[in-house]
Structure 1
Amino acid sequence: MKPLPLVWFGALALAACSQSTPETPAAAKPAPAPAASAAKTAGVAARAKARPAFTPPAEADLPAGPLGEEIRLGRAIFTDTPEHARDYVGNGLSCSNCHLDAGRLANSAPLWGAWGMYPQYRKKNGHVNSFGERLQGCFRFSMNGKAPPLDSDVIVALESYAWWMSKGAPNGVKLAGAGYPKENFKPPQPPDYARGAAVYAKDCALCHGADGQGQQVAGRNVFPPLWGPQSFNWGAGMHQLDNAAAFIKANMPLSRGGTLSDQDAWDVAMYMDAHERPQDPRYAGDVAATRVRYHDTAMSLYGTVVNGHLLGSGAAK
């Protein structure tokens, strides 16, 4: 489908989806007092600075023998998921499309920043998850596929790769460069679709295509699709504006991360995430109910109206 102009979202308050008022903006929270805001900013900066740094082991240090073979299999799955885990994927994406440098790169949700944080409670599915369950979610949402069994070769190999990548890292400690850098990362103005379209044309279309469908060579993604039937679905973390904006700011354009302004990163995240994509697999026949249950946040465009089109209702097949 063609891009549609986006309705106004005041101060990041997106349309609250309901059967009767799908375009009613959510109530804006009052701005904090300047002193309180400054103190909060200082506290966030101090916490980020206090996080320990970590360098993953070099690939040349991969062990020999059966364990090394399992770790290498995990790396192969991670970098070419459609080839090595084809039974569980529903699109052409690989794990390394969002976790760059084979899951090694800081500020692109590296594996070494995630392994030691599990088990943990996840609001997304309402229970304490093992690391294996977290990987299953990636297949279900980002890969728009199905979850491999926890004892499958795919999950065991990916766990082995993440374990090896994290050797020497403290458990239960948020490391510098883990996840995407979202702390104290807000746009000067509410994100805007039209501005985002201009940023996309200037800085993104060369690799991802004017239509957002990426580029392929010999049937393999060189640059991944950002929306449409071969992209991540409406349940994936990258459909959330703050995740997408933080990833883009830190890592895009490829090899030129950090060159976009905060505003540009938020605007182009809005543009990307305001396009249709495969349905959330938790959908049970009603977009409004699905938004209320799983997407009731200003960071999700699912179930909001874009120029008369209800996002999520025309999901690509």
Structure 2
Amino acid sequence: MKSVIVALITFNIISMACATEIVEPTAPPKIPNPTQNQAPTFLPPAEETLPDNAFGRLVQQGHAIFVDTKANASEFVGNGLNCTNCHLEQGRKADSAPLWGAYTMYPAYRKKNDKVNTYAERLQGCFQFSMNGKPPPADSQVISALTAYSYWLATGAPTGQELPGRSYPEIPEPTGGFDLAKGKAIYARQCSVCHGDEGEGQKAGGDYVFPPLWGKDSFNWGAGMHRINTAAGFIKSNMPLGKGGTLSTDEAWHVAAYMNSHERPKDPRMIAGSVEQTRLKFHANDGVNLYGQKVNGVIVGQGTE
């Protein structure tokens, strides 16, 4: 029952960045055919093109890790999220940082760690920040399988070109800035039915079927989604679930700011327990964010346990 629930529901959910020996599912989950809401210039391959050989099995394993990361990469996951929560439709959906748009852009310089990153290092960062876990070794089966899945989804995509839909859209900040009170009202009206009144998510048994947006089981303060501008672009295009594009640009900013005004796991790069030093080094020039800022009289960024 667990695998059926996860396979059916994580196909579409968010929101909002395994043991060393992987246990391969007895019946690998089916990889869906392309949907119709992809960027017009590129469609990832259909399932029937996947070869029945060692490569195809590795791709299937990567798909299994991607959609049920907690179960299939548990050693490296520290929260309640799966990769597909931020990369919707199992890494296929345009304007949701699809894998086919990411794979062909690496190696690439990243300001976040001030160096040229390989694709393996990019995946490692997702585990460290979005999954609030620890990076799998670059030569691990987990990274190999996720890389194979990404490579296969990018079949036929041009290398080094920013395809339409490859990331989250950039949308302008509201005139006069974001408003947390408006964001709270929008959240209650549009988001709480899936993600809970307190951003706690929803579970079926012991597994999240709608992910937590803040608190101990959500992404940490180092994840890209903690940036309000990043979260706003994701929300504008993809939320509410199944109704992406229905919120205005201003509404997306307001609700993203409200989401990211709450406490979450600490930034694993925190310097000597100091929010201020960590803010100055890692957050002061990292998009629009509330890390180290005072919200409702409290400095956020200390982290949850």
* Superposition TM-score tier, normalisation by shorter sequence: 0.7 to 0.9
The 5-angstrom pairing of residues 179-258 of structure 1 reads 179-182=167-170, 185-258=172-245
Tell me the TM-score normalised to structure 2 length.
0.85
Q: What is residue 296 of structure 2 aligned with on the other side?
A: 307
Larger CA Rg, structure 1 vs 2:
1
Question: Deviations 1:271-305 (Å, cap 9, x if unpaired)?
Answer: 00000000000002211110000000351210011
The 5-angstrom pairing of residues 34-183 of structure 1 reads 53-182=41-170
Whether contact under 8 Å (1:191, 1:267) holds in the other structure is: yes
Q: 1:60, 1:214 → 2: CA distance?
A: 34
Q: 1:307, 1:211 → 2: CA distance?
A: 16
In structure 2, stretches of 5+ residues that fail to align are: 1-38
Specify the SS of the correspondent of 2:208: strand
Q: CA deviation at 1:218?
A: 1.7
Q: What is residue 21 of structure 1 aligned with on the other side?
A: none
Write the letter of the residue equivalent to 2:234: F
Q: 2:97, 2:137 → 1: CA distance?
A: 23
User: Post-superposition, which runs of at least 4 consecutive aligned residues in structure 1 deviate over 3 A?
Assistant: none
Specify the SS of the correspondent of 2:230: helix
Tell me the TM-score normalised to structure 1 length.
0.82
Whether contact under 8 Å (1:185, 1:246) holds in the other structure is: no
Whether contact under 8 Å (1:52, 1:175) holds in the other structure is: no
Alignment RMSD, CA only? 1.2
Question: Deviations 1:241-290 (Å, cap 9, x if unpaired)?
Answer: 01100000000000000000111100000000000000000002211110
Q: CA deviation at 1:52?
A: 7.7
Write the letter of the residue equivalent to 1:296: A
Specify the SS of the correspondent of 2:244: coil
Q: 2:64, 2:150 → 1: CA distance?
A: 12
In structure 1, stretches of 5+ residues that fail to align are: 1-50
Question: Deviations 1:137-173 (Å, cap 9, x if unpaired)?
Answer: 0000000000000000000000000000001000000
Q: What is residue 279 of structure 1 aligned with on the other side?
A: 266
Whether contact under 8 Å (1:189, 1:263) holds in the other structure is: no
Q: Call closer, same or farther: CA 1:123–1:52 in 2, change over 3 Å.
A: farther
